[in-house]
């Protein structure tokens, strides 16, 4: 019938062209196929909507009828649904949990293990994972809950994580011992996990008043590389666990800690723990891995009745950080000095963020002297910080803190602008200024822009600016390109701490460098050790062979200065001539005075 109507609309107008009735009929019949198509689409939509509702209803029915609690978590790790069975587990109203962050209910010590897997990218096929964590009940108690996690975030009908929960808290009869043991064990090594460690520490804490127990935290370097190959992680960790276990004494207890660390509860004093840790570190050198022998560092601390398990682990971790700073193979014990140092470091890190805005930072200027012409040729801008409560803070203390954060870029830009402005306005055209540039600042890609802006704002000629970089920066092709651009503008580039890294003729030839600065460590014992003098001569010869002037840093005594001059070094920086000058001294022309072999009192290490 529909085809007949369409044919009629197509044929009749040919015989009665222009008739109004036929034109209206033609338009009306033209809507028929469109209406039929819309009707088909609507019926399909109704059918799909009904199927989706039925699917959701079936899913909800299955979840609600589950004996074990079921929790559905959205992509933002907030609870979107909790089955009625959750009431018997946590003594809470299931409806009250909707919208709450899952993290609020999990014990702090268990969050890393649980949320590390939950935060992973969505998988395909709804992968399963089993995780165990302590969950807070309404009365503030903790229940040990094992959750089988099914990842359905890739399923458009669910788009969530589904947690099938089971209470595995030991509450007398009816508990599955094997299941409880599994929940407290590391799945790869079989060692007690962090949850079991926390329980053991709590139990031991009640006994340490009469029987000493210590804690050793062992961090293994190179473990990530050794287990990077597919299938190698389980093999390496099991061999490692077997080796460590054989080195322990009868009452010592080995467990896994956070971030893959190993923890040992040592039966004895802190001294005993140091001995055990040293023995464990030694035996790691005999563990063969695809990446070579393993190395480690360790931190140890004693347990006390008034120290809770969390604080004991924090103290061991603080001792471990101190050991890492000392180098591979070190074993450090916790003491109050470490805590004081850590507290000071934390205070400085927080206060440094606002030090520039509060006007606590300033520049000092260390002269570089030409011992042949007997005059100052340049000054190096050094950052100084006077804390309102702690007084003057050493650059060796606060500069590393700045370099650990994006703050170093802001500080570096301020130093660049301030140094250029100070030297341009307060000195004559004979003096150049050198500014240290951090790796983060130069790799930001904004160094050239910052230098041009600082030169334009201050009016300092580009030829009077020296940018100091460290050796490792030259390995980056992008950095080398920016430095070459600066040199084309007239800015000179100095290689700081020369001789302490990968320096060689092969690397330096053709690199965008105008000046070498010999690191002050070369001067250690230079007056008494012939080999040190030979090293200094070698650096001078290397610079001469490249046609680059060498500045010797850290010259503090007349004896060092005489040796340096006898070797033919021309440019010297250090307390043998002057301490760093304040801005007022720079403006007063104190940099012009170069006393012969004058050694400043109370020398300090420059930064």
**Is residue 470 scored above 70 in pLDDT?**
yes
Report phi then psi at 495, rounded to 5.
Answer: -95, 105
Intrachain domains 66-183 and 361-592 with the same fold:
no
Among 385, 384, 365, 386, smallest CA distance to 376 is for 365
Structural domain boundaries in the chain: 2-63, 66-183, 194-334, 361-592
Please, are residues 448 and 477 in contact by the beta-carbon 8 Å criterion? no
**Is residue 604 scored above 50 in pLDDT?**
no
CB atoms within 10 A of CB 458: 21
Report the pLDDT averaged over residues 154-175: 71
Q: What is the pLDDT of residue 595?
A: 64
Cα torsion 445, 446, 447, 451: sign: positive
Q: What is the pLDDT of residue 61?
A: 47
Report phi then psi at 405, rounded to 5.
Answer: -140, 165
pTM for the complete prediction? 0.58
Tokens of 557: 């005594």
Report the pLDDT averaged over residues 96-106: 89
pLDDT band at 1 (very low <50, low <70, confident <90, very high): very low
Among 316, 333, 212, 202, smallest CA distance to 262 is for 316
Contacts by 202-210, CB closer than 8 A, 24 or more apart: 202/309, 204/265, 204/303, 205/303, 205/305, 205/307, 205/308, 205/309, 205/312, 206/305, 208/303, 208/304, 208/305, 209/305
pLDDT band at 598 (very low <50, low <70, confident <90, very high): very low
Torsion of Cα atoms, 126 then 128 then 131 then 137, to 10°: 50
CB atoms within 10 A of CB 83: 22
Q: What is the pLDDT of residue 230?
A: 65
**Is residue 288 scored above 60 in pLDDT?**
yes
d(CA 184, CA 167): 13
pLDDT in tens, 578-593: 889 999 988 877 777 7
Give me the residues paired with residue 581 across strands. Answer: 365
DSSP string, 167-181: E----STT--HHHHH
d(CA 552, CA 63): 75
Report the pLDDT averaged over residues 355-377: 92
**Is residue 15 scored above 50 in pLDDT?**
no
d(CA 164, CA 171): 20
d(CA 465, CA 292): 47
pLDDT in tens, 234-263: 777 878 888 888 888 878 888 888 777 899
**Is residue 166 scored above 50 in pLDDT?**
yes
Q: Which fold has domain 66-183?
A: Beta-Lactamase (3.30.450)
Write down the CATH superfamily of domain 194-334. Reverse transcriptase/Diguanylate cyclase domain (3.30.70.270)
Nearby residues of 151 by Cβ (< 8 Å), 6 or more positions away: 122, 123, 126, 127, 128, 129, 161
Pick the CATH number of 361-592 from 3.30.1330.10, 3.40.50.720, 3.30.930.10, 3.20.20.450: 3.20.20.450
Q: What is the pLDDT of residue 20?
A: 55
d(CA 464, CA 375): 16
Report the pLDDT averaged over residues 318-335: 89
Report the pLDDT averaged over residues 382-400: 92
């Amino acid at each position: 019938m529909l085809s007949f109507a369409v044919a009629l609309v197509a044929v009749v107008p040919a015989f009665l062209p222009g008739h109004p009735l036929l034109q209206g009929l033609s338009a009306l019949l033209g809507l028929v196929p469109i209406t039929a198509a819309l009707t088909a689409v609507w019926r399909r939509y109704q059918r799909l909507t009904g199927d989706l509702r039925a699917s959701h209803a079936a899913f909800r029915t299955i979840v609600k009828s589950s004996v074990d609690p079921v929790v559905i978590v959205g992509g933002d790790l907030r609870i979107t649904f909790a089955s009625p069975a959750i009431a018997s587990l946590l003594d809470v109203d299931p409806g009250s949990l909707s919208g709450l962050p899952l993290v609020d209910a999990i014990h702090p010590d268990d969050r890393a293990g649980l949320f590390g897997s939950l935060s992973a990218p969505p998988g395909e096929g709804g992968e399963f994972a089993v995780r165990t964590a302590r969950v807070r009940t309404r009365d503030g108690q903790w229940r040990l809950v094992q959750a089988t996690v099914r990842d359905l975030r890739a399923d458009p009908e669910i788009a969530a994580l589904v947690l099938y929960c089971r209470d595995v808290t030991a509450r007398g009869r009816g508990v599955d011992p094997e299941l409880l043991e599994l929940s407290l064990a590391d799945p790869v090594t079989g060692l007690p996990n962090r949850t079991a460690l926390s329980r053991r520490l709590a139990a031991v804490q009640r006994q340490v008043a009469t029987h000493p127990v210590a804690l050793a935290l062992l961090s293994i370097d190179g473990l990530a590389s050794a287990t990077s190959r597919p299938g190698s992680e389980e093999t390496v960790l099991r061999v490692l666990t077997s080796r460590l276990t054989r080195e322990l004494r009868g009452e010592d207890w080995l467990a896994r800690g956070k971030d893959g660390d190993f923890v040992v509860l040592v039966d004895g004093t802190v001294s005993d723990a140091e001995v055990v840790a040293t023995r464990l570190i030694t035996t790691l050198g005999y563990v063969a891995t695809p990446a070579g022998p393993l190395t480690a560092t360790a931190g140890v601390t004693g347990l006390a009745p008034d120290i809770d398990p969390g604080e004991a682990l924090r103290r061991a971790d603080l001792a471990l950080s101190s050991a890492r700073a000392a180098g591979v193979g070190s074993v450090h014990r916790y003491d109050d000095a470490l805590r004081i140092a850590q507290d000071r470091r934390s205070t400085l890190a927080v206060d440094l963020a606002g030090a520039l805005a509060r006007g606590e930072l300033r520049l000092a200027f260390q002269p570089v002297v030409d011992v042949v012409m007997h005059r100052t040729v340049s000054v190096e801008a050094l950052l100084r910080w006077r804390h309102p409560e702690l007084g003057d803070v050493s650059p060796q203390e606060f500069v590393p803190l700045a370099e650990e954060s994006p703050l170093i870029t802001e500080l570096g830009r301020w130093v660049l602008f301030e140094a250029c402005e100070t030297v341009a306005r307060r000195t004559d055209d004979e003096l150049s200024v050198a500014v240290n540039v951090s790796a983060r600042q130069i790799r930001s890609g904004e160094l050239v822009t910052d230098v041009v802006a600082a030169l334009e704002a201050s009016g300092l000629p580009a030829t009077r600016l020296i940018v100091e970089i460290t050796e490792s920066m030259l390995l980056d092709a992008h950095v080398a390109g920016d430095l070459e651009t600066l040199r084309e503008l007239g800015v000179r580039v100095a290689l700081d701490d020369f001789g302490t890294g990968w320096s060689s003729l092969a690397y330096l030839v053709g690199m965008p460098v105008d000046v070498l600065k010999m690191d002050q460590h070369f001067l250690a014992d230079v007056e008494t050790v012939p080999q040190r003098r030979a090293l200094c001569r070698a650096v001078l010869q290397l610079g001469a062979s490249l046609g680059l002037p060498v500045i010797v840093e850290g010259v503090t005594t007349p004896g060092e200065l005489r040796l340096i001059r006898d070797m033919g070094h021309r440019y010297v920086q250090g307390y043998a001539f002057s301490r760093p000058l304040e801005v007022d001294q720079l403006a007063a022309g104190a940099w012009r005075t170069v006393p012969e072999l004058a050694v400043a009192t109370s020398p300090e290490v420059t930064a």
